[in-house]
């Protein structure tokens, strides 16, 4: 899910791709941001890029 967030996909599209409910994705993204210490998706994407995650998968 982190890769999809980092690629800029909205929650609705992530939910569709992963066959999850929108609310599940919204909650998971919030938890992911909080646990990794980021306040927004952009800072998360920059963090993942700096850690050499392949966000283009």
Q: Is the pLDDT of residue 56 over 60?
A: no
Report how far residue 30's alpha carbon sits from residue 22's, in angstroms, rounded to the nearest whole number: 12
Class of domain 2-50: mainly alpha
How far are the Cα atoms of 30, 31, 40, 51 from residue 46, in angstroms, in the given order?
17, 17, 10, 9
pTM passes above 0.75: yes
> d(Cα 56, Cα 35) in Å, to the nearest integer?
23
- Predicted pLDDT of residue 55: 56
Q: Per residue in 2-54, pLDDT tens?
A: 889 888 899 999 999 999 999 999 999 999 999 989 999 889 888 887 886 66
Backbone angles phi, psi at 53, to 5 degrees: -75, 140
């Amino acid at each position: 899910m982190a890769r999809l967030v980092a690629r800029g996909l909205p929650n609705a599209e992530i939910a569709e791709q992963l066959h999850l409910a929108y609310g599940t994705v919204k909650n998971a993204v919030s938890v992911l941001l909080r646990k990794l210490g980021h306040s927004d998706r952009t800072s998360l994407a920059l963090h993942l890029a700096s850690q050499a995650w392949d966000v283009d998968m």
